[in-house]
């Protein structure tokens, strides 16, 4: 089986950090070689870079401000992201986008922080790591305007409907699939949509410590998701696409290497 690469893991989260050596060892045992640590705020992005320095062969990161933290964007944020992104371990700008589900930051702040980060990705010629929830229409409007100048982008943790998927494919986005697909109720629509994603645009992620796959058995007592469960997500996606897990693993690995410009 090819090396699995988890393209979205919140490794700076306390739930994973407190047993980092164990998390990394279990991931390796499950075939998960490299991981992309998600940067969700300036502080977390800096911590992600420090983790990459501690695990140089296994971790790279993104650098950005999540829509929940969009109100933290200020006059210095772009410079701070620019400085962090000079580190070769930073392989994408984000996590950024729009999340109108809870509006932890007001929608206009989210739009502003998103557009600034899109412009940074263009300026630095880095791919964009995007998050969208309950904000599809506005998100696509903004994205469409900038898309020709963005090198590559992924809509991570895709859980939306068929029309949204078609919009993203039209904009030539990569699609990140998580263990949401393992949910026998909430994941039904995603199970039907996953065969429509072109093989060369599919990426896999755990979004750990969130989104523990619901059909894991036995379920870990901690209820904490971790990168080791990526193999389980791969098997589920392969089943719904009627492909072999081995073939899918090889394809998704190629996609991940290409998207994040990782060495083979
Ligand atoms: Zn997200």
Q: How far away, in angstroms, is 94 Cα from ligand 1 center?
A: 9
Structure letter (DSSP) for residue 206: -
Cβ burial, residue 131 (10 Å; 0-12/13-18/19+): buried
CA 249 to ligand 1 center in whole angstroms: 23
- How far, CA to CA in Å, does 82 sit from each of 19, 29, 79, 139, 195? 31, 35, 5, 23, 37
**Can you tell me the distance from the alpha carbon of 118 to that of 132, in angstroms, rounded to the nearest whole number?**
14
Q: The tokens of 83 are what?
A: 């400085």
Determine the distance separating the centroid of ligand 1 and the alpha carbon of 156, expressed in angstroms.
6
CA distance 55 to 131: 26
In degrees, rounded to 5, the angle at the alpha carbon of residue 93 between the alpha carbons of residues 35 and 194 is: 60
Max Cα–Cα distance, the chain, nearest Å: 49
Beta strand 59-63 with 4-9 is unpaired
Contact yes or no for 24/55 (Cβ under 8 A):
yes
From first to last of the 264 residues of the chain, give the pLDDT tens digit: 899 999 999 999 999 999 999 999 999 999 999 999 999 999 999 999 999 999 999 999 999 999 999 999 999 999 999 999 999 999 999 999 999 999 999 999 999 999 999 999 999 999 999 999 999 999 999 999 999 999 999 999 999 999 999 999 999 999 999 999 999 999 999 999 999 999 999 999 999 999 999 999 888 888 999 999 999 999 999 999 999 999 999 999 999 999 999 999
Distance 229 CA to ligand 1 centre (A): 18
Q: Which residues contact 66 (CB under 8 A, 6 or more apart)?
A: 40, 41, 95, 96, 99, 131
Query: Cα(131) to centroid of ligand 1, in Å?
Result: 5
Does this model's pTM top 0.95? My answer is yes
CA of 78 to the centre of ligand 1 (A): 20
The position carrying tokens 């705020």 is 41
Centre of ligand 1 from the C-alpha of residue 157, in Å: 6
DSSP-assigned states of every residue in 137-177: HHHHHHHHHHGGG-S-EEE-S----HHHHHHHHHTT-EEEE
Say how many C-beta atoms besides its own lie within 10 A of residue 188's C-beta: 11
What confidence score (pLDDT) does residue 222 get? 87
| Ligand 1 centroid – CA 75 distance (Å) | 24
pLDDT of res. 221: 85
pLDDT of residue 94: 97
For the chain, what are the domain ranges? 4-259
CATH, domain 4-259, list 3.40.47.10, 3.40.640.10, 3.90.1170.50, 3.20.20.140: 3.20.20.140
CA of 95 to the centre of ligand 1 (A): 7
CA of 158 to the centre of ligand 1 (A): 9
Ligand 1 center–CA 175 separation, angstroms: 12
Distance of CA 68 from the midpoint of ligand 1 (Å):
10
Q: Using DSSP bridges, classify how beta strands 153-155 and 128-133 pair: parallel, antiparallel or unpaired.
A: parallel
Residue 260 Cα, ligand 1 centroid: separation in angstroms? 17
């Amino acid at each position: 089986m090819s090396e699995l690469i988890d393209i979205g893991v919140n490794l700076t989260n306390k739930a994973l950090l407190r047993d980092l050596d164990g998390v990394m060892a279990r991931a390796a045992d499950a075939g998960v070689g490299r991981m992309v640590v998600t940067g969700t705020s300036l502080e977390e992005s800096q911590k992600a870079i420090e983790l990459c320095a501690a695990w140089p062969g296994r971790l790279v990161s993104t650098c950005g401000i999540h829509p929940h933290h969009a109100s933290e964007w200020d006059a210095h944020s772009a410079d701070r992201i620019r400085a962090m992104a000079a580190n070769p371990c930073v392989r994408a700008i984000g996590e950024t986008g729009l999340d109108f589900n809870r509006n932890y930051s007001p929608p206009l702040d989210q739009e502003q922080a998103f557009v600034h980060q899109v412009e940074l990705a263009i300026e630095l010629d880095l791919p964009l790591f995007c998050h969208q929830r309950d904000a599809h229409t506005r998100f696509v409007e903004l994205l469409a305007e900038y898309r020709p100048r963005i090198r590559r982008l992924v809509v991570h943790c895709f859980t939306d409907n068929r029309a949204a998927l078609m919009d993203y494919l039209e904009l030539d986005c990569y699609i990140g699939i998580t263990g949401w697909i393992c949910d026998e109720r909430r994941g039904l629509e995603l199970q039907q949509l996953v065969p429509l994603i072109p093989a060369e645009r599919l990426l896999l992620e755990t979004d750990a410590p969130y989104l523990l796959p619901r059909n894991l058995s036995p379920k870990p007592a901690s209820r904490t998701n971790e990168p080791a469960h990526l193999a389980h997500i791969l098997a589920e996606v392969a089943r719904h696409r009627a492909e072999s897990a081995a073939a899918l693993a090889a394809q998704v690995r190629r996609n991940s290497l290409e998207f994040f410009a990782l060495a083979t």
